[in-house]
Every structure is written in structure tokens, then in C-alpha cells.
Structure 1
Amino acid sequence: MVQCWLLNSMTRNLRAIFLSLSTAKEVWDAVTQTYSIGKDASKLYELRCKALATRQNGTSLSDYYGTLQLIWQEIDVLRPSKMKCSDDVAARTTEISNERLYDFLAGLDHHLDRIRGQVLAEDPLPSVQAAYAQVCSEANRQATMLAGSHVDGSAMTTTLHRPVPRSGHPKPGQKELDTRQCTHCGKKKHTRETCFELVGYPDWWVDKQEKGKEKKKSVANLASQPLPHGSSPHMDQSALRVFPNTTSTSSPYPGSSDKGADWSW
């Protein structure tokens, strides 16, 4: 049964080499002699260099730690302990554990520098298994915080760039903007159908212009009179400020300079 299991675990080409052997022990011994590298120093050197050169490089912690574990297992096979004293075995086990802890911490990504320093500050140093658990906990915490900040940033960006709804209705308390413009005279706040130049000027509009004309005459007369004794130009300027729009351009119907507002009726 064991012999069948050994042969079935081989590829077809290898199975043909050991198929003629009669017992499982013969198969095992033949495979060991053929493929075992024994105490190959070059292989141990290669594995140690590989362990020191292994880096996380953005991969998951489980993948990085699993890669190191495979290397360490191969080293254990090639370098079995021959110590008999229990104290020596414990001391050597601690040394190996510390070496592997250094290998693991040295290859971590830079965002885990803080937890690496915390692990190295412990006395005594934890096992590589305990250190792996601490690093995983810190990595999960960082991932959670990063995800939360990303959501907050996205919400803020959405709020800042949220389009302002356009509506034809003014907001409460806001006066509706009159966008009408006459195609005849070019003035705003009325249309061609209600243009005074076409339909005639109403009486109230003429009266308004006459009042404006009289107002201008009063200001002009006041400005042309000589200043009383003791007065100053500053007093004259104060009087002129009482009657604004005295420099408006003339029109067929003198009055307010805001011609566009005359049509708001």
C-alpha cells in the first residue's frame, strides 16, 4: 500500500525508474540516494541568501510569510539539530527563532516600520509566529483607517463638486431676473410688442421725463449761483450729492439715466 502511494506520487517518467523495486523501503531508499542533497553547503548558502533577500514588496502578509516559511522548512531539513542537552536545544531554538524573526521584520514594507520597531523593542523578543500576528493586526488597522479616510475624502469631493441645480424659478426672497430685450430699439425689460417707440409713449412716462428735466434745471441753477461768503467748494459738492445723475446724457425725453428700468411697468 505504501509502495503504491510512493509510486503514484511520482510523475510518469520517474515512476518507470522505480517500478521494478519490490518493497516500499527499496523505493524510499532509492529515491533518497538519487535525489537527496544531504549536507550540501551550497544549497544551505542559497537558502540563507534567499531568506535574507525575500521582501514583501506590496504583496499580502500571508504570501510573504508563507514564502519565508517554505525556505525555513528546507533549511531545517538540510540542517537538523544534533544537540542532546535540553538546555542547549532550548538555546539553539531561541537563536533560530530570533534569526527568522529578523528575516521576517527586515522584509516588511515601509508602512509597517512602526510595528517593526515595537516588536524589536520587546524583551525578550517574541517568536516569529507571535510577531506575525502583531504585524497582521497593525496592517489590518491601517487598512481600515485608510478605507475610512478614502470614504470621507470621496464624500467631501462629491459635496464640493456637486452641481448647482438650475431652475427657472428664483429662490425665496430673490427677485426674478427680467431677460426680455426689444428687437426694435435694442433696450431691455420689454419686447417689440410693447415698445413705446412703436405703440406710443404713455402719459405717465412723459410726466416722468418732465419731472426729471425740472430736477436737472434746479441743480444746474444751484451750481451756477455764486457761493455765499464763508462757504467752500466742499459745501457745493455736498449740495450736488443731494441731486444725483446730473451728468446723464440727453435724450428726446430727459429723465432717469436707467432707461431699461423705464419699461418695468
Structure 2
Amino acid sequence: MASSGSTSISIDESHPFFLHHAENPGLVLVSQPLIGGENYPTWARSMERALRIKSKFWLIDGSVSLTSAMEKVPILVQSWARCNDIVVSWIINCVSPRIATSMVYRKTAKEVWNKLQNLFSQGNGPRVYQLQKDLASFSQGELSVTEYFTNLSILWDELQNYEPIPTCSCEKCVCNVNEKISKIHHREAVMQFLMGLNDSFSHVRGQILLMDPIPSVEKVFSLLIQDEKQRSVGQGNNGGPFVESTALAAKGTSFGPKNYKGKGKERPTCSHCGLQGHTVEKCYKLHGYPPGYKTKGKASLVNQVSAHIDSQDSFLHAQPQTQFPFT
């Protein structure tokens, strides 16, 4: 509680001048320090968010200046000065040592913030040109759908930071122009997203383009993720058996017993009947069949010649004895 004569004011957690006991000058609000123009846009956005969380961004935008504090409640001048010095320390802690050296002589947080903005904030024109160029040439390539969409989102967000979507602020519009502009913006994002996809997604891309109305970019991303997962599952199920069946087919064709042509000992061929496995000297058709030999038909005989090769020798050597009658 602070008081001066009849004036009293309570500084609690909801008051902009309130400082928690943990909010000391050595506090670091962002993880990545400012090193120059290359990371200023992301650093400034992160720093602005952190100061808003601490309820101290009013020192940056000048909504509560020292003059206004002195006019309203003179006794709070010291509280204003404490908050200002704390925020200056926080900003200096979040920049590189080289940059911090040039900021120590600035008195107010607003001066420090404006100085950094003037030094490192790039003009909108060159940066917008580069972002538009990157978006026009960006494609999926070897990236997954998730990686591709994430990189696109980063470019979209930064471009929107430089060129925010125009909205009607007069609060008298009855034609829903804000909603119409937003739909056009999202439709362009969907088209940009689909144009950069690989040709392997041409089928699902065609289905999305046939939808009326065109779904949101988040819904399109969800559909593509589902298609990508189904495709990976299908490839996992079909890859193994396909290779295995192909190998088996090749094995049956190349190494089957009917097609085997090995280079072993050459089998003899009969010059009389033309069959393999015996010579003309041992041909059954020429010299006669042994007693008890049973034929199974011409086709069967041809197939069984090789099975009886070993038995032919024994039958031919065992000549039948001629019996003469006694006189």
C-alpha cells in the first residue's frame, strides 16, 4: 500500500507496477540472444511475448510513460523507475555482449527497444520479396509431409508478420468481409501446399481439389498424413512376399528337374532304336526281350528305359540254355 496525503493506491499482482520477488535484474527471458538482423524478427517476437507475460510491455509501447505516472499518482514514480530499470536489464541480458555494450547508456526501455529495432529490423520490401521467392520455389523433395508442412508454416507465419491480413476495424461491417478475406488467404495457402507436393500424391491431391468447398490447410495436412501412412503400411505388407515369390518362381524355372541340364558322364545311345542307356549290341528290340520282361506301352517304355539300364546287362549276359530232346 502506497499513500501520499489523501491519495492511496494498492499495488497487487494485477497492477502494472507490481514486481514479483523472483523478477530480478539478472533474469533471462528468451533462450536465443539477439546477434543481429538475421534473428531479430524471431527474437523480437519472443521478447514481446515474454514482456507481455510479465505485464511489462507497457514500458515498450509507451502506454504508461513517466510523465503520465507523475501526473496521475506522483508517489508511483519510484515504482515506475524500478519497473523501467528491470525491463532494461532484461533486454540487455537477451542480446549479445557486443550489442549490449551500445545499449547500457539508454535510460528507458522504450529507447532501448526502438534503438534495436532501428538497427536490426530489415525493411519489409526485401524480406517480403525473399519470403515470396522461397515460397514460390519450395517443394517437398526428400522431405516427409510433416517436415514439408512445418517449413511452409514457418514461411507463412513470418510473411504474415510483415504483411498481416487486413481486417475491418470499424465494427460496422455487415458483409462479413473479415471472414471472406480469411477464406481467400487460407485457400491460397492450400494451393501453395498442394503445388509443392511430390507426384506420388497426385491421386489424393486430385481428390482434395474436387472438394467443394476446399478444406482448410490443417485438414489437407491431415488427409495427406493418412495417405502417407497407408502407403507405408501397404509397402511393408507387399514387399516381402513379392520378393519371395519372385525368387521361388526363378528357382522353379531355372533349377527344376525337368529343365536341368547337368554336365555329367555322357550316356550311350543305341543306333538301332535311338534310345539312351544302351548300345546296339544290347538292344532288346534287336536281340529280343529277356524272359519275364513286361512292357507297359510305347510311351511308358520310353520313360522307363533309364530305370532299367542296370538290369539290361544282367539279362543279356544270362543267355538262356538250349534244351535238346533225348533220342
TM range (shorter): 0.5 to 0.7
Match of 1:33 in 2: 118
Secondary structure at 1:123's aligned position in 2?
coil
Q: Does 1:15 align with 2:104?
A: no
Once the 2 structures are TM-superposed, how far is the Cα of residue 20 of structure 1 from its aligned partner? 3.2
Q: Return the alpha-carbon distance in structure 2 between the equivalents of residues 75 and 120 of structure 1.
A: 25
The normalised TM-score by structure 2 is 0.48
Q: Kindly tell me: are residues 10 and 159 of structure 1, through their superposed partners in 2, closer, same or farther at Cα, counting changes over 3 Å?
A: farther
Match of 2:194 in 1: 105
Partner amino acid, structure 1, of 2:155:
I
**Structure 2 residue corresponding to 1:50, chosen from 130, 134, 142:** 134
Once the 2 structures are TM-superposed, how far is the Cα of residue 151 of structure 1 from its aligned partner? 1.9
Q: Return the alpha-carbon distance in structure 2 between the equivalents of residues 20 and 152 of structure 1.
A: 74
Unaligned runs of 5+ in 2: 1-85, 253-263, 266-280, 289-297, 299-308, 319-327
**Structure 2 residue corresponding to 1:63, chosen from 126, 147, 154:** 147
Q: Kindly tell me: are residues 4 and 142 of structure 1, through their superposed partners in 2, closer, same or farther at Cα, counting changes over 3 Å?
A: farther
Structure number with the higher helix fraction is 1
Percent identity reads 20
Once the 2 structures are TM-superposed, how far is the Cα of residue 162 of structure 1 from its aligned partner? 7.2
Q: Does 1:124 align with 2:213?
A: yes
Asked whether the equivalents of residues 165 and 182 of structure 2 are also in contact (C-alpha less than 8 Å), the reply is no
Once the 2 structures are TM-superposed, how far is the Cα of residue 149 of structure 1 from its aligned partner? 1.3
Q: Kindly tell me: are residues 34 and 115 of structure 1, through their superposed partners in 2, closer, same or farther at Cα, counting changes over 3 Å?
A: same
Tell me the number of residue pairs that the alignment of Structure 1 and Structure 2 aligns: 181
Partner amino acid, structure 1, of 2:99:
L
Once the 2 structures are TM-superposed, how far is the Cα of residue 114 of structure 1 from its aligned partner? 0.8
**Structure 2 residue corresponding to 1:76, chosen from 153, 160, 167:** 160
Alignment of 1:1-265 (within 5 A): 1-38=86-123, 40-84=124-168, 87-157=176-246, 159-160=248-249, 261-262=312-313
Partner amino acid, structure 2, of 1:138:
D
Q: Return the alpha-carbon distance in structure 1 between the equivalents of residues 149 and 223 of structure 2.
A: 13
Q: Return the alpha-carbon distance in structure 2 between the equivalents of residues 35 and 88 of structure 1.
A: 35
Partner amino acid, structure 1, of 2:182:
T
Q: CA RMSD in A?
A: 3.5
Q: Return the alpha-carbon distance in structure 2 between the equivalents of residues 13 and 161 of structure 1.
A: 71
Match of 1:219 in 2: none
Q: Kindly tell me: are residues 138 and 88 of structure 1, through their superposed partners in 2, closer, same or farther at Cα, counting changes over 3 Å?
A: same
Q: Kindly tell me: are residues 108 and 6 of structure 1, through their superposed partners in 2, closer, same or farther at Cα, counting changes over 3 Å?
A: same
Once the 2 structures are TM-superposed, how far is the Cα of residue 47 of structure 1 from its aligned partner? 1.2
Once the 2 structures are TM-superposed, how far is the Cα of residue 70 of structure 1 from its aligned partner? 1.1
Q: Return the alpha-carbon distance in structure 1 between the equivalents of residues 192 and 246 of structure 2.
A: 42
Q: Return the alpha-carbon distance in structure 2 between the equivalents of residues 59 and 109 of structure 1.
A: 10
Q: Return the alpha-carbon distance in structure 2 between the equivalents of residues 82 and 59 of structure 1.
A: 33
Partner amino acid, structure 1, of 2:116:
V
Asked whether the equivalents of residues 208 and 220 of structure 2 are also in contact (C-alpha less than 8 Å), the reply is yes
Once the 2 structures are TM-superposed, how far is the Cα of residue 68 of structure 1 from its aligned partner? 0.8
Q: Return the alpha-carbon distance in structure 1 between the equivalents of residues 121 and 216 of structure 2.
A: 30
Q: Return the alpha-carbon distance in structure 1 between the equivalents of residues 122 and 219 of structure 2.
A: 32
Secondary structure at 1:37's aligned position in 2?
coil
Q: Return the alpha-carbon distance in structure 2 between the equivalents of residues 52 and 83 of structure 1.
A: 25
Q: Return the alpha-carbon distance in structure 2 between the equivalents of residues 13 and 155 of structure 1.
A: 65
Provide, for residues 228-263 of structure 1, a one-character-per-residue CA deviation record: whole Å limited to 9, x for no partner: xxxxxxxxxxxxx9xxxxxxxxxxxxxxxx688436
